[in-house]
Amino acid sequence: MAERAPLSVAVIGAGRMGADHVRRIHEVTSGARVAAVADVDAERAKSVAARVDGCTAHADPVAAMAADGVDAVLIASPGPAHEAALLAAFERDLPVLCEKPLTPDAASALRVLEAEQRLGHRRVQVGFMRRYDPEYVKLKGLLTTGQLGRPLMLHNRHRNVTSPPFFTSSMLVTDSVAHEADATRWLLGHEITAVTVLRPTPSAGAPDGLQDPQFVVFETDGGVLSDVEIFVNCGFGYQVQAELVCERGTARVGDGHALVTNMAGRWGGTIAQDWTERFETAYDREIQSWVDATRRGEVTGPSAWDGYAATAVCEAGVRALRDGGRVEVELVDRPALYA
């Protein structure tokens, strides 16, 4: 029996995320190859494509999708470019892994939902990689067994060493807390119904004008409160932690104590310095899962509905940050395609 040909992927976006996915597909993932790379910076696209034999470079995403043999698309371009790339992929009925956000706002995310529904089948998996992190998977599995009883609260901490120079106060919600919005929905199986953002005195380590840290509170339709400490200029490391508080016990992930040393009168370990280190395994598993499902003719993982819901939560969060108070999340009824 002849071996199936590898999945030929067009990677849209050759920045840090896109280049890392090109490396991952080329060196780590089985059953896939990078056939084309696109970036608005044509020289950057050429540089990244040159790392893979037979990979073509393009300045136009549509040209990359139309490249010879392309079977699927991975979108890792900036959020504002996602809608156009997704619609172009739909025109070719190509399966897509789209890095978060699905789109930057709920209105454009709804347009994507409507376009996918017109296809009559799912084509999009959204890149919420925490669903593939071994620790988060264990936490979800433990909660599903019912041993801890009914969940009451979820505490989240999300810390970065420093923020990029272009980061704004609202981006702490849209670019960082978006992950906790999805993790809350996925772990609990609830929709988030309202958001409150509290603003402590900014850290001296935060750039002028940046509201950092922030304390975000989600309310869910299952009666659970989920809070997020987002601190993107903590200075000491990259930490993502979650603790479930349930009726009969608690469970926590993200402490990073896999290796503890005792030496020279001290004990301790190391703290990851960025997301590529902390979630390397999650990204590897996410991409492999997407490739395997696509080769089977299936679409699994976080859906376009999940992308839309997280975007709507973040939209409410930005309003809560700007105006203060509690802001309700506005969601349309979930379409049958995503039931």
- What residues have CB less than 8 Å from 219, skipping those under 6 apart? 192, 193, 194, 195, 225, 326
CATH number reported for the structural domain that contains residue 198 in this entry: 3.30.360.10
247 lies in the same domain as 299:
no
Contacts of 217-221 with C-beta under 8 Å, sequence gap 24+, read 218/180, 218/181, 218/184, 218/192, 218/194, 218/313, 219/192, 219/193, 219/194, 219/195, 219/326, 220/184, 220/188, 220/190, 220/191, 220/192, 220/193, 221/190, 221/191, 221/192, 221/193
245 lies in the same domain as 285:
no
Confidence of residue 1 (pLDDT cuts 50, 70, 90): very low
- What residues have CB less than 8 Å from 126, skipping those under 6 apart? 97, 98, 99, 100, 102, 301, 302, 303, 304, 306, 307, 310
163 lies in the same domain as 265:
yes
CATH number reported for the structural domain that contains residue 21 in this entry: 3.40.50.720
Q: What is the pLDDT of residues 254-296, one digit of tens each?
A: 987 666 767 788 878 778 888 788 899 999 999 999 999 999 9
Q: What per-residue confidence (pLDDT) applies to 268?
A: 81
Are 48 and 37 a contacting pair, CB within 8 Å? Answer: yes
Q: What is the pLDDT of residues 293-332, one digit of tens each?
A: 999 999 999 999 999 999 999 999 999 999 999 999 999 9
Q: What is the pLDDT of residues 153-182, one digit of tens each?
A: 999 999 999 999 999 999 999 999 999 999
Q: What is the pLDDT of residues 175-217, one digit of tens each?
A: 999 999 999 999 999 999 999 999 999 999 999 999 999 999 9
pLDDT above 60 for 2: no
Count of C-beta atoms within a 10 Å radius of residue 123: 22
Asked if residue 2 is part of any domain, the answer here is no
Can you give the residue range of the structural domain that contains 295? Answer: 7-129+281-303
109 lies in the same domain as 142:
no
292 lies in the same domain as 319:
no
Domain tally, the chain: 2
Unique residue bearing structure tokens 């839309």: 308
89 lies in the same domain as 136:
no
Are 324 and 195 a contacting pair, CB within 8 Å? Answer: no
Q: What per-residue confidence (pLDDT) applies to 3?
A: 64
Asked if residue 123 is part of any domain, the answer here is yes
Q: Two tokens at 233?
A: 């200029």
Compute the mean pLDDT over every residue in the chain, rounded to the nearest whole number. 95
Contacts of 322-327 with C-beta under 8 Å, sequence gap 24+, read 322/170, 325/196, 326/194, 326/195, 326/196, 326/219, 327/194, 327/195, 327/196
Instruction: Please measure the distance between the N-terminal and C-terminal CA atoms of the chain and give it in whole angstroms.
Output: 37
**CA 216, CA 23: separation in Å to the nearest integer?**
35
103 lies in the same domain as 200:
no
